[in-house]
Structure 1
Amino acid sequence: MVMPNLLLTLSVWLVAGNLVAQATYYRHHRYVPHFFRYREHSANTENLLPDVSNPVPEVSQPGVPTYPEIPEVFHPAPEVIHPIPEAFHPVPEVVHPAPEPYYTPEVHQPVPEAFSRVSTIRVFFGIMFDAGSTGTRIHIYKFIQKDPIELPVLDNELYHAVKPGLSAYKDNPEEGGNSIRQLLKIAKKTIPEEEWKKTPVVLKATAGLRLLPEDKANALLKEVREVFDESPFFVPSDSVSIMNGKNEGVLAWVTVNFLTGHLYSNTRRTVGILDLGGGSTQITFLPKSKKTVQSAPPTYIAKFNLFNHTYQLYTHSYLGNGLFAARLATLGALGADGLDWKVFTSSCLPKKFRENVTFGGTTYKVSGIPDGYAGYKLCYYEVMKVIKGIVHQPYELKGNSIFYAFSYYFERAVESGLIDASRGGMVEVRDFKKRAKEVCNKMTKYRAINPFLCMDMTYITCLLKEGFGFKDSTVLQLAKKVNNVETSWALGATFDFFRNLNIH
């Protein structure tokens, strides 16, 4: 009886051991959905984690200033909203803005140590002013962090704009400051009062102020700093500045590729950007060919680090080639004297058109040619003089890379009926040329919409073809927003503020 009992005990022990081994195997090899694996903490993201605790001394030292907690970094990982196939989509979810006012998230009560990873939801904001040549825009970004080991995600953006641009107040800085106060009132209504002292406010001016004399630009910047200092928000030491053209292009590229999901994609398939402002225009893309980098002027190549990747971009900003500056250059008015009596004419304008045009605080008299000819061919010839030999043509633009085009590319495409304002759309370069011809040959029809539409559409066509060297078949994605967030450099600049990208 001893031997059978021993054999029975040994068999039970072997069977139990086998079951434990199988259970251990399946526990470590079970299927984990892609989006859960993506959000797991890894060594690659460890050095990107923000210092969420950032403790402030409970007892402040006399005479020692205390500073608000500023988050260091954002993570572009998509926020999983639905555990269905949409969660596998590479484009990050941007949650639509919540009804105002925002409520402070509920803070979780302490829990047993076994569940110590459960933490509070953290909400914070950032305010970025875009002081452009034709208007000043405020971007208010709301970010959410659900756990200290996770990185924050973009929740939504509130956007508002006023006209004219800050540069229009070059002779009256105080009024320029009032335009900023007007926008700050919106920020105070949007952001909870308890968050004001923690929320950084930053203004970056672009081509409008770059075109001004240095003393007038500095007077405007000084006025804005004073307005910021009297506000309840956190004002960093470098909160007001003029942004150089290279950073404008790079940060717009960061914004668009973040919103389209390309910055954290392993494929490195990014999209290029074309930004057409009032005073300048930018082109930025990630070169696929070494020849593009080698043949470009050294100042056209920019490097920076973001999310554990080093990017080397082709980027350049053409000051004076924005849409409104190009109008004046086409008319021969940019930098001209005798503005009180001179009338600047163009065959790009309706024959009976005559109007005063203000740009950058200066007024010009412009007109069509009453007894002359007008139309696409003559207009194209005039516009060519503004572009030919000025714009560098990158080597690989004759390929099939997709570019996102926004700002006045989008606005004029809408006005001319090329795309729908609510949806945007994909067009080819040849579509701009075709519509420009239609507009120029029917100026009377389009005059009520915009008397400069022929000139603008012809300029865009010429800039794309004769300037940058795009093929007729190059596809452009025209967009004002991506995932309900404005396609501009502002979001990229907010990333740059919280986590210095060291663009060089």
Structure 2
Amino acid sequence: MKLTVPCLLLLLVLLAVAGLSRAQVKTSFLDLTNSIGSILPGLSRPANHSRIFYAVMFDAGSTGTRIHVYTFIHSDSVELPVLDNEMFHSIKPGLSAYADSPEMAGHTVRMLLKVAKKTVPRLEWKRTPVVLRATAGLRLLPAEKAQTLLDKVQDVFEESPFLVPDDSVSIMNGTSEGILAWISLNFLTGHLNAQTKKTVGILDLGGGSTQITFLPKLRKTIESVPLADYVARFEIFNSTFELYTYSYLGNGLMAARLATLGALGAEGLEWRVFKSSCLPKKFRDEWSFGGQTYQVSGDPDGYAGYKLCYQEVLKVVKGIIHQPYELEDNSVFYAFSYYFDRAVDAGLIDGVHGGMLEVRDFKKRAKEVCNKMTKYPPVSSFLCMDMTYITCLLKDGYGFKESTVLQLTKKVNNVESSWALGATLDHFHHLKIH
């Protein structure tokens, strides 16, 4: 039985007339409101022609699968919706780890859909789109295996009570990943409108790929790109943006570890041991990425430390990462994903609030970690390699000055820093990225 607000008031009057005490009436009211659950609108629900809508975005990354459940408030009087809330949850490993057991990939998505069911009101399920975009983890897989995983996810979506739009499950290209992350961060920082003169750049370091995206101030930055692929245009909220953006597949943190170790595409994994000066001399262990397991170790007969490590990681960066003509000092760059995680692991920033760091801070801590590995084992045996790679990527790769300040962040206004919000806005607004 559905009870409207007038019915509730009438019942309360009847209870009072029946001679129940005020305390008893209060108890009865609580029982009633509890029993009818969510039929009453929440006090925070907006009035005057605003509407609430929901969206579910899955980020199928190389090292984990994440779900973002967004609650938006949209008023007819304004063009930009207001993001009211995000519910976020993640599961490791990524779907690519289940390349040979797609049923497990389906199980992962089913588990995460439970978060969506708890967050989105039941009455809104059939109107709430559910979308999955896969990134470098699936881009690095053979096409047939990647497609099998996507098909399994599609089956799970079709079983769910949510709205499954056309093209709801796909692999996203790297350019879109960079642009949509830029849209996310500029939306969250209030820079995404027609009057904007200042925007923020983004640096995203995933497991399989890494992205740089910013709005150039100088025409030469666009004119001096090595390929047309480095420039992208899109329209949003009656504005057209032309961005410098590129995604480097194989230069994410985990893929860079493989390349540094000389294990990228290597054969005979069951008997080979991949050594590096970036690892503690006495270290030896198994390490898994993308569904493969590798035997890795330090070099017990050689030397370890920052200088040798830098030479190793430089091979992964030099000649691959293009240096933009312009990296303006007065442009703020937000760095997230593994940039943030490793800065936390190295004790450079707080794990909740993040913070501002200069590029030289990564370099200084990389030296300290690498040169003290023997006496003081780091929290992760790969910390020296990872910190050195990040330093090399920023300095010798993109060409940032050591004094450049980066904003290290995991969340902005309690929302995850990632491309997922931008992808959700793209779904609703069709940004015409080209």
Q: CA deviation at 1:318?
A: 0.2
Q: In 2, distance between residues paired with 1:399 and 1:123? A: 40
Query: Which residue of structure 2 lines up, in the alignment, with residue 491 of structure 1?
Result: 421
Q: CA deviation at 1:132?
A: 0.1
Q: CA deviation at 1:369?
A: 0.8
Query: Which residue of structure 1 lines up, in the alignment, with residue 365 of structure 2?
Result: 435
Relative distance call for 1:424 and 1:240 in structure 2 (3 A) is: same
Q: Does 1:106 align with 2:36?
A: no
Secondary structure of residue in 1 paired with 2:367: helix
Q: Does 1:325 align with 2:255?
A: yes
On the 8 A contact 2:194/2:237 being kept in 1, the answer is no
Relative distance call for 1:106 and 1:450 in structure 2 (3 A) is: same
Query: Which residue of structure 2 lines up, in the alignment, with residue 378 of structure 1?
Result: 308
The runs of 5 or more residues in structure 1 that have no matched partner are: 1-100, 109-117
Query: Which residue of structure 1 lines up, in the alignment, with residue 244 of structure 2?
Result: 314
On the 8 A contact 1:207/1:319 being kept in 2, the answer is yes
Length-normalised TM-score, structure 2? 0.88
Relative distance call for 1:102 and 1:200 in structure 2 (3 A) is: farther
Secondary structure of residue in 1 paired with 2:195: coil
Q: Does 1:463 align with 2:396?
A: no
Q: CA deviation at 1:266?
A: 2.3
1:41-52 matches, cutoff 5 A? none
Query: Which residue of structure 1 lines up, in the alignment, with residue 31 of structure 2?
Result: none
Q: CA deviation at 1:144?
A: 1.7
1:97-496 matches, cutoff 5 A? 103=38, 106=41, 119-145=48-74, 147-151=75-79, 152-264=81-193, 266-296=195-225, 297-397=227-327, 399-444=329-374, 447=377, 449-496=379-426
Matched length: 394
One-letter amino acid matched to 2:413: N
Secondary structure of residue in 2 paired with 1:477: strand
Q: In 1, distance between residues paired with 2:42 and 2:409? A: 38
Deviation per CA, 1:391-433: give whole Å up to 9, x if none. Answer: 1100012644220000000000000011111211111111110
One-letter amino acid matched to 1:243: M
Secondary structure of residue in 1 paired with 2:277: coil
Of 180-189 and 392-401, more deviation after overlay is shown by 392-401
Q: CA deviation at 1:445?
A: 6.0
One-letter amino acid matched to 1:204: R
Of 165-174 and 266-275, more deviation after overlay is shown by 266-275
One-letter amino acid matched to 1:226: D
Secondary structure of residue in 2 paired with 1:447: coil
On the 8 A contact 1:102/1:192 being kept in 2, the answer is no
Q: In 1, distance between residues paired with 2:37 and 2:210? A: 36
Q: CA deviation at 1:448?
A: 5.1
Of 149-158 and 233-242, more deviation after overlay is shown by 149-158
On the 8 A contact 1:140/1:157 being kept in 2, the answer is yes
Q: In 2, distance between residues paired with 1:267 and 1:204? A: 29
One-letter amino acid matched to 2:421: L
Deviation per CA, 1:113-147: give whole Å up to 9, x if none. Answer: xxxxx7455221000000000000000000123x5
Deviation per CA, 1:327-370: give whole Å up to 9, x if none. Answer: 01000001000111000000000011111111100111000011
Length-normalised TM-score, structure 1? 0.76
User: Percent of aligned pairs with the same residue?
Assistant: 69
Aligned Cα root-mean-square deviation (Å) = 1.7
Larger Rg: 1
Relative distance call for 1:398 and 1:124 in structure 2 (3 A) is: closer
The runs of 5 or more residues in structure 2 that have no matched partner are: 1-35
One-letter amino acid matched to 1:427: L
Q: In 2, distance between residues paired with 1:167 and 1:481? A: 26
On the 8 A contact 1:375/1:440 being kept in 2, the answer is yes
